Structure 1
């Protein structure tokens, strides 16, 4: 567990005039790390390199957030594919889990969130045991590309059957054909009818395209979240290539790792850890005109970088009730009021902006601040003050200086 923790200690002075074993397994990793060059982008970035289609034609995939991987599962037809078969399940077909599915991902602390995934494409490395030109009875001569286009009703495998969508690209040889179909959400069976008897047919492997909906990283803890999903493979299963095509493995498992690398950084200007409380306009009105100050205060700015939830706490050298105090040498003390204003984009309970939120020793009221966007070096303010009644007591005490140390803590460990 990574705990981001920042604190500021200030010296204050108020001076009076001073899978199962058989499963094919793939690992998919996504990362959230704040990017100062693009602070509005608060999303996970897929770190798993695509294989197959999206590797070869990334421009076909990137606009749709599509990625592809290769499943090393071989399919062999148990029987010949008959010419002009009327049952879609007796030819070349595919049906995949194209609907969105929820996957619970779990942090090492036990916190959970939800990732969604769907299979959005299917590709085949299809093969024949004899040249395609022979199977189509030499009707294409020696032109194997033409032979593939007349082997199936509606054109070659590149011409995707509805509801699947073709991508206009494929590679072909005398005995093999590599193609890819995009699959809309909740699509059903996509099937090709053979126009000639195919004695033997196989898929060397298949490529599956997938899309992700990742959770909001700004509401997640730093660290890793793990989850997985299992798909069944075979006739009538999640990945279904028809009744003839039999796989050599019946499971495909996807393991997901979401890594959150939050930032929490506080920058105090030089000298900002020493705060002197003064009246409005300074001490001259009292020294020259005898006009007593009504309150003492100082606003101390700071710069904040954060992409995480965090809380704020306060520790004191001297304490009075639930707040810090300032002391003078003879032991007289007055309460010090401390509050914080945070940059726009950070909110407290009830989605309220944080403006002069009191800081308490108990932490009450500052237990949780949430980032709606990545805060990239935005200014905040710590407000220090002594109220009028306490200023009057300070003046009547005869002491010249009150001091105290306050430690302000920004802490990402909010659970």
Structure 2
């Protein structure tokens, strides 16, 4: 009778949380990935940046449909450096907006390993609270003085309307959607504006995050900066002067993976037997052609990992069992993984040999969160070795092997 001891290794991805201190014209954008057993097919980052403004309070359904998020801040303000002329024809001489609405790549870097990945980011909407002198009726085109508010509810092309505006005699809050790669949006008064200020700025953004299943557990950070002011990435024209010339976004992506192995009670002690058990040999005299045992273990996995094999008494590139007299034969160990896990070439893993040099098992990668699915370890002493063992009657062969699931790749 041959027995083999199986040791298990468990790993749970650890999360280290850090944050950037808030500064004027600096905004943190935070996203997190944590496996969700109730939705194993949904493997995406969740934006956990505190929301404010219209997407949080006024038009959440529209924002969700567009995949955008809004932030309202008084860090970014602007004041006019002169009057805004009535019926001006140059958009730069009045109230205008040009945003960096195109997608831009941002490299994010793992804080411990130095691994990198890419976030895509764009600004997708703009709004303000504006205050002006004289009264708000300077905006009376094209709806007339009784409906000047609609002038701000309805966006000028290429911006798109949201239907949101809150107004009073000398101020208004508005918000417009800015499509990808949009040009200038502007408004022209019919009466000269003596002075104008943006006391609040509200912007929307969209973000595309990497595939978290291909990222290491931990925290990734990155930064992108936009120039603000005349001719900059974020441009309010030549009249409305911002209070600073740079707007910086810090990206913080937390990846909290799970890699866990559960061996059932008694499963770390493996007894190898021939097909049909030992009785077939004892009763019929039929010599066994091989000794084997399949051991099921439960697996949780949301990240890539590798598997390694360790043993105190190797034979070639695998482990072994031996008897009291020191006779040693190879013990072959293989693994089958559940659907949703593939090897480095994207193939299903079925009876893949585990070798001491690690070849072939250097990378397994998930296409979904594997939530407590059965995996099988296959233990076998093959026919040639069994024939040798039968030449040692009365012997008990034993040995130990350690199978390691390792997320450190």
Matched, 1:333 2:321: no
Determine helix, strand or coil for the equivalent of 2:384: helix
Equivalent runs, 1:230-379 vs 2, <5 Å: 230-379=225-374
TM-score (norm 2): 0.91
Q: Counterparts of 2:86 and 2:127 in 1: how far apart (Å)? A: 23
Q: Where do residues 6-45 of structure 1 align in structure 2 (5 Å cutoff)? A: 9=7, 24-45=25-46
1:69 aligned residue: 71
Q: Which residue of 1 aligns with 2:224?
A: 229
Aligned with 1:186 (options 181, 187, 190): 181
2:6–2:267 contact (8 Å) kept in structure 1:
no
| 1:116 and 2:120 aligned | yes
Post-superposition, which runs of at least 4 consecutive aligned residues in structure 1 deviate over 6 A? none
Q: Residues 217-276 of structure 1: CA distance to partner in whole angstroms, max 9, x if unpaired?
A: 100001110100101111111111111100111111000011100000111122111111
The CA deviation at 1:205 is 2.2
Instruction: Report deviation, 1:399.
Output: 3.7
Post-superposition offset of 1:148: 7.8
Q: Indicate the residue corresponding to 2:15 in structure 1.
A: none
**Cα separation, partners in 2 of 1:146 and 1:36, compared to 1, 3 Å:** farther
Unaligned runs of at least 5 residues, structure 1: 1-6, 11-18
RMSD: 2.1
Cα deviation, residue 105, structure 1: 0.3
Name the CA distance, whole Å, in 2 between partners of 1:399 and 1:73: 85
Does the CA-based 8 Å contact 2:6-2:270 persist in structure 1?
A: no
Task: Supply the distance in 2 between the matched residues of 1:202 and 1:366 (Cα, whole angstroms).
Answer: 63
In structure 2, what is the Cα distance between the partners aligned to 1:107 and 1:244? Answer: 42
Q: For 1:110-129, what per-residue CA distance to the aligned partner results, in whole angstroms no more than 9, with x for missing partners?
A: 11000000001011111114
Over residues 349-408 of structure 1, what are the superposed CA-to-partner deviations in whole Å (9 max), with x where a residue is unaligned? 211111111001111111111111111111110000000010010000124310011111
Counterparts of 1:312 and 1:303 in 2: how far apart (Å)? 15
Q: Deviations over 1:146-199 (max 9, x none)?
A: 748448xxx522210001001011111111100100011100001112111111
Aligned residues: 389
Matched residue, 2:389: 394
Q: Shift of residue 91 of structure 1?
A: 2.0
Normalising by structure 1, report the TM-score: 0.90
**Matched residues in 1 for 2:190 and 2:62: separation?**
30
- Whole-Å separation in 2 of the counterparts to 1:131 and 1:236: 29
Determine if contact 1:23/1:250 at 8 Å carries over to the other structure.
no
CA apart distance, 1:70 = 2.7
2: CA distance, partners of 1:174 / 1:64: 32
C-alpha contact 1:328 1:399 (8 A) present in aligned 2: no
- Kept after mapping to 2: 8 A contact 1:22/1:250: no
In the other structure, the counterpart of 2:130 is 126
- Paired residue secondary structure (1:225): strand
Using a 3 Å threshold, how does the CA distance of structure 1 residues 103 and 360 change in structure 2: closer, same or farther?
same
Q: Which residue of 1 aligns with 2:197?
A: 202
1:408–1:22 Cα change, 3 Å = closer
Match of 1:102 in 2: 105
- Distance in structure 1 (CA, Å) of the matches to 2:23 and 2:7: 58
Offset at residue 304 of structure 1 (A): 0.7
Question: 1:131 Cα deviation (Å)?
Answer: 3.2
